[in-house]
Amino acid sequence: MTRVDVGLGDRSYPILIEAGLLDRAVEHLARFARNGRMVVVTDESVAASQLPRLVAGLGKTRVEPIILPPGEATKSWGMLERLTDQLMDHGVERSDRIIAFGGGVIGDLVGFAASILKRGCGFIQVPTTLLAQVDSSVGGKTAINTRAGKNLVGSFHQPDLVLIDPTTLDTLPLREVRSGYAEVVKYGLIDDFDFFAWCEGNAAALLDGDTDARTQAIAHSVAAKARVVAADERETTGTRALLNLGHTFGHALEAETGFSDTLLHGEAVACGMALAFRFSAARGLCPGQDAVRVARHLASIGLPTTLKAAHVNTDGGTLAGHMAHDKKMEGGRLPFLLARGIGQTFLAKDVDLGEVAAFLDRER
């Protein structure tokens, strides 16, 4: 079993990663049960495909499930109210640990509910999508979406434990696996050239369902995220901001496609990373061949790397307009993640949105 610790003083917690962990969940979760029972929050799809395994894996510990509808719309005020009411109906107390069993939607919603229920109770992440296993389950960012946009209401609330079983991905649709994979590659592109090279050599096996490749990719990604979170828990020093590589471009593409199934988050991030590298190359910061290599790898596994492949046919001004609403905007300029090469990402503060708009027009 691989264990990665997120070092946050008295809020430190372990991330355990191993194939089959779900089937032995009792070994790691039973001690958190109260009166022999645990409340598990999940969505309908995960309940159908993976909940029976968790229930069996918990042995004599009785599972009290709360099952919500799947999809991004579940991260809403309405569902937060419904969930907190249900948690109280189940008699959840502050010392309890609520289990968030699902993808990033369930993790973000349950984390937020846990942070406000009875002024804060504990929770455990048991992520079941690749995106959640390599990214959202670690780091304590919780949120719901509101009329004004995505993730604008939330809190920092760290879990007490993260339990990752890569075999839960066996039932995840391939498109979701691929989308989550974009966030894996991201860790290589940020500051780890060797890991990017590993990705080039192992992506095919990973997507094909190879559990060893998946386990290695998850363990490496989670270790990278844990280091960043320990260094900059609340994104105040700029270190954690590096994790947003490809996300400013990507967010504009998601906004343009209405945050819909037309373009999944990881697909937008993949295209955003390809754009960030080409933009860096166009500014003379990064060798053109690095930008080509990044795009070639992402495209080789079926991720979009051009506006056309991302189903976006909008002028650069409109796309840059979406960026202008970014919560990181400072006095007309947006801190932008650019690269000097693969594994050499940095935060640039001198990028003008007009320059980005002109670049995106050339990309059409």
Ligand X SMILES: NC(=O)c1ccc[n+]([C@@H]2O[C@H](COP(=O)([O-])OP(=O)(O)OC[C@H]3O[C@@H](n4cnc5c(N)ncnc54)[C@H](O)[C@@H]3O)[C@@H](O)[C@H]2O)c1
> Annotated catalytic sites, by residue?
119, 141, 183, 225, 235, 240, 244, 247, 251, 265
From the CB of 189, what's the least distance to ligand X, in Å? 16
274 vs 272: CA distance, rounded Å: 5
- What residues are paired with 335 via a beta bridge? none
The residue sitting closest to ligand X, measured at its beta carbon, is 104
DSSP 302: T
Question: Closer CB to ligand X, residue 249 or residue 359?
Answer: 249
Give residues 99-138 in contact with ligand X (rule: CB under 6 A): 102-106, 108, 128-129, 131-132, 135-136
Question: Closer CB to ligand X, residue 43 or residue 290?
Answer: 43
From the CB of 179, what's the least distance to ligand X, in Å? 7
From the CB of 102, what's the least distance to ligand X, in Å? 5
Question: Closer CB to ligand X, residue 64 or residue 176?
Answer: 176
Give residues 218-247 in contact with ligand X (rule: CB under 6 A): none
DSSP 241: G
Strands 37-43 and 97-102: parallel
250 vs 276: CA distance, rounded Å: 10
Q: Does 63 bind ligand X (CB under 6 A)?
A: no
Question: Closer CB to ligand X, residue 162 or residue 203?
Answer: 162
| Binding span for ligand X by CB under 6 A among 27-35, 43-51, 301-309, 324-332 | 43-51
Give residues 289-328 in contact with ligand X (rule: CB under 6 A): none
In the structure encoding, which two tokens stand for residue 82, read together? Answer: 């419904």
Q: How far is CA 208 from CA 21, 121, 211, in A?
A: 21, 39, 9
Q: How far is CA 148 from CA 26, 108, 255, 272, 341, in A?
A: 41, 18, 12, 22, 35
In the structure encoding, which two tokens stand for residue 220, read together? Answer: 């490496």
89 vs 98: CA distance, rounded Å: 13
Site string for ligand X, 249-288 (x = CB under 6 A): ----------------x-----------------------
Q: Which one among 54, 58, 75, 268 touches ligand X, defined by CB under 6 A?
A: 75
Q: Does 49 bind ligand X (CB under 6 A)?
A: yes
180 vs 48: CA distance, rounded Å: 21
Question: Closer CB to ligand X, residue 148 or residue 362?
Answer: 148
- Contact (Cβ atoms closer than 8 angstroms) between residue 17 and residue 164: yes
Q: How far is CA 116 from CA 35, 81, 88, 151, 337, in A?
A: 23, 11, 12, 16, 33
Q: Does 139 bind ligand X (CB under 6 A)?
A: yes
Q: Which one among 15, 33, 50, 272 touches ligand X, defined by CB under 6 A?
A: 50
From the CB of 231, what's the least distance to ligand X, in Å? 16
Q: At 75, phi and psi to the nearest 5?
A: -80, 65
| Binding span for ligand X by CB under 6 A among 45-53, 83-91, 285-293, 351-359 | 45-53
Q: Which of 81, 113, 85, 79 is nearest to 97 (CA)?
A: 113
Question: Closer CB to ligand X, residue 135 or residue 191?
Answer: 135
From the CB of 84, what's the least distance to ligand X, in Å? 18
From the CB of 216, what's the least distance to ligand X, in Å? 19
For the four alpha carbons of 90, 93, 94 and 96, in that order, the dihedral sign comes to negative
Site string for ligand X, 142-171 (x = CB under 6 A): --------xx----------------x--x
Q: Which of 127, 125, 123 is nearest to 115 (CA)?
A: 123
From the CB of 320, what's the least distance to ligand X, in Å? 22
The number of residues that bind ligand X (CB under 6 A) is 30
DSSP 352: B
**Helices 353-363, 265-282: crossing angle, 10 deg rounding:** 100
Q: Which residues bind ligand X (CB under 6 A)?
A: 43, 45-46, 49-50, 70-72, 75, 102-106, 108, 128-129, 131-132, 135-136, 139, 141, 150-151, 168, 171-172, 176, 265
